[in-house]
Amino acid sequence: MTQKLQTYEAPGIIVTFGPNVCAHSGACVRGLPAVFDVSHRRSIQIEKASPEAIATQVSRCPSGALQVVRST
């Protein structure tokens, strides 16, 4: 089943998540658990960390399922 691209926005940053691409390595959860918390219905809560911290963690996503765009 194909799932749609998810978009999360906060001041200074936009994060997209492609669930069909995700390899479920857990790198995001281990690296920034306050933001990437699968126990919540909305599992990505980008307002809980700085844009810089989020961008750094997203760059570590091995599958590329997470992408970041810096906004103004």
pLDDT value at residue 60 = 96
pLDDT by residue (tens digit) across 6-41?
999 999 999 999 999 999 999 999 999 999 998 988
Number of structural domains the chain divides into: 1
Which tens digits make up the pLDDT trace of 62-71? 999 999 998 7
Has residue 1 been placed in a domain?
no
User: Which residue segment(s) compose the domain that 19 sits in?
Assistant: 6-70
Q: What is the CATH number of the domain that holds 38?
A: 3.30.70.20
Is residue 38 in a domain? yes
Residue 57 is assigned to a structural domain of this protein: yes
Q: Which residues of 28-54 are buried (b: 16+ CB within 10 A; e: fewer)?
A: bbebbeebbeeeeeeebebeebebebb
pLDDT in tens, 37-48: 989 888 999 999
pLDDT exceeds cutoff 90 at 1:
no
